[in-house]
Homo-oligomer: A and B are copies of this chain.
Amino acid sequence: MTRVTSADVARESGVSRTTVSYVLNDKGGDAIPEATRQRVREAAARLGYTPSAAARALRRGRSDLVLLVLPDWPIGPVIDTLLDQLTGELAGRGLSLLVHHARGSRPLADLWRAVTPRAVLGLVPFAPDDERAMRQAGIQVVGSTLDANTDPGTFSVPQIAIGRLQVEHLVARGRRVVAYAGPDDARLAPFADRRRAGVAAACEELGLAAPVSAALGLDVAAAADVVRSWRSAPEPVTAVAAYNDEVALAVVAGVRAAGLRVPDDVAVIGVDDVPAARLASPPLTTVWQAIDAQATYLAASVMAALDGTDEPPRPDDVFHVVVRSST
């Protein structure tokens, strides 16, 4: 079973390969009569002709593929929606999005060399060597930062703002001694660190003491221990900003296990507004993220970087606090 090539289509329809190429790529203006076009298209369909992507890429010097390198993060709804949006936007430009889950398994170079994509997108910065090599190979590189947007051709995800929002809410609720509860999962460290930084910055701005912090497993007994230690400090903790809703639920369970009440003794605020937050008792105050707006913004940033145009404007109200009974 050998491959059907444009030569086969040419033979079948009684024209040259040139004409086949012109017809199938809609080139050559109206020089080619409709009857010929018809004949070529029918022959191609009949034979099941599929242009060789390799040959085409070799000839054109570039492919129609965009490679997105995903860091070793648990895939959340923002990324999930981002993939949706990117796939659609790129398809509109004739490009296909391919995702590589970087798990440290193979050098990145092996991959982009094997794919030779038009562009490579990263959600975290690339190693300088990789980036240089990709550019040298004529591949456009679109980087990313987790927060501040320094370089052009870069897009970013604000994390610090989330921590700030949590503290502002807790202070508005009259709390003055804030702790930060981070996740156990090392893969989340980049985010968790940013959010902790946001909590710390907000505390400083608002004249609070620097927040104590701890990494919490999702375990009631361990959470209770942490809560007890926070409460036995000279300035007992009265409010906890958690990395996300899961950690927040663990804190709530820990507070209860320590014989204290939420929010009377300790107020707790999460992030994400997962379904369990609403269903918990007490229902959890949390930071809601506008997933669609964020994903749309990210996708627009990527497209701007690809096209070399200006950054799109940041969307407003990407986050806001959903007030429930845990604070």
Please measure, in the bound complex, the distance between the C-alpha atom of A298 and the C-alpha atom of B67, giving whole angstroms: 25
A137 with B3: CB separation less than 8 A = yes
A136 within 8 A of B: yes
A32 within 8 A of B: no
A101 with B99: CB separation less than 8 A = yes
What does the 1/0 interface line of A124-140 toward B look like (CB < 8 Å)? 00000000010011100
- Residues 245 to 292 of chain A near chain B (Cβ within 8 Å): 246, 249-250, 252-253, 274-276, 278-281
Please measure, in the bound complex, the distance between the C-alpha atom of A75 and the C-alpha atom of B105, giving whole angstroms: 20
Please measure, in the bound complex, the distance between the C-alpha atom of A114 and the C-alpha atom of B62, giving whole angstroms: 11
**Copies assembled:** 2
A50-B137, A87-B101, A219-B278 provided; 10 other pairs, C-beta below 8 A? Answer: A50-B109, A65-B115, A74-B77, A88-B103, A96-B115, A115-B115, A218-B275, A218-B278, A246-B276, A281-B281
A63 with B114: CB separation less than 8 A = yes
- Nearest first, the 5 closest Cβ-Cβ pairs linking A and B are A54-B57, A218-B275, A276-B276, A54-B58, A99-B99
A138 with B103: CB separation less than 8 A = no
B96 with A111: CB separation less than 8 A = yes
A110 within 8 A of B: yes
A1 with B250: CB separation less than 8 A = no
User: What is the distance, in angstroms, from A266's C-beta to the closest C-beta of chain B?
Assistant: 15
A48 within 8 A of B: yes
Chain B residues contacting A101 (CB-CB under 8 Å) are 83-84, 87, 97, 99
What does the 1/0 interface line of A68-88 toward B look like (CB < 8 Å)? 000000110100100110011
What does the 1/0 interface line of A22-64 toward B look like (CB < 8 Å)? 0000000000000000000000000010111111011001011
Chain B residues contacting A52 (CB-CB under 8 Å) are 58, 116
Contact of A63 (CB < 8 Å), options: B1, B54, B109, B276: B54
